[in-house]
Amino acid sequence: GIQVEQSPPDLILQEGANSTLRCNFSDSVNNLQWFHQNPWGQLINLFYIPSGTKQNGRLSATTVATERYSLLYISSSQTTDSGVYFCAVDRGSTLGRLYFGRGTQLTVWP
């Protein structure tokens, strides 16, 4: 299957700082999604972004499909941003099967 690598594995920030999370994937993909898993386990859709750039408030994402990576930017981080951020890709071959990275554990301190 396709390999999805996320970096860094852990990130500790002071409130107000900016950060960039990276997702590399080993093959061409049909779609890419970023999720935030909150401390209660709920995965929240952040972006559906197979290519290009999108912004939603303090978060934005860019996917460069030709170079097989995606970036998630978090600006002016808040304590509520804490949790695990997952990148997941779909090769478009098997009914929308998602391949997940290992995630980035983000901790934001006040």
Partner 1 sequence: GAVVSQHPSRVICKSGTSVKIECRSLDFQATTMFWYRQFPKQSLMLMATSNEGSKATYEQGVEKDKFLINHASLTLSTLTVTSAHPEDSSFYICSADRGFDEQYFGPGTRLTVT
Instruction: Tell me the closest approach of the beta carbon of residue 51 to partner 1, in angstroms.
Output: 13
Phi/psi for 66 (5° steps) reads: -65, -30
C-beta closer to partner 1: residue 58 or 97: 97
The distance of closest approach from Cβ of residue 2 to partner 1 in the complex, given in angstroms and rounded to an integer, is 13
Contacts with partner 1 by CB under 8 A lie at 30-31, 33, 35, 40-43, 45, 48, 86, 90, 92, 94-98, 100-103, 105
| Identity of the residue, 37 or 75, whose beta carbon is nearer to partner 1 in the bound complex | 37
Nearer to partner 1, 17 or 59 (CB): 59
DSSP string, 37-104: E-TTS-EEEEEE-SSEEEEETTEEEEEEGGGTEEEEEE-S--GGG-EEEEEEEE-SSSTT-EEE---E
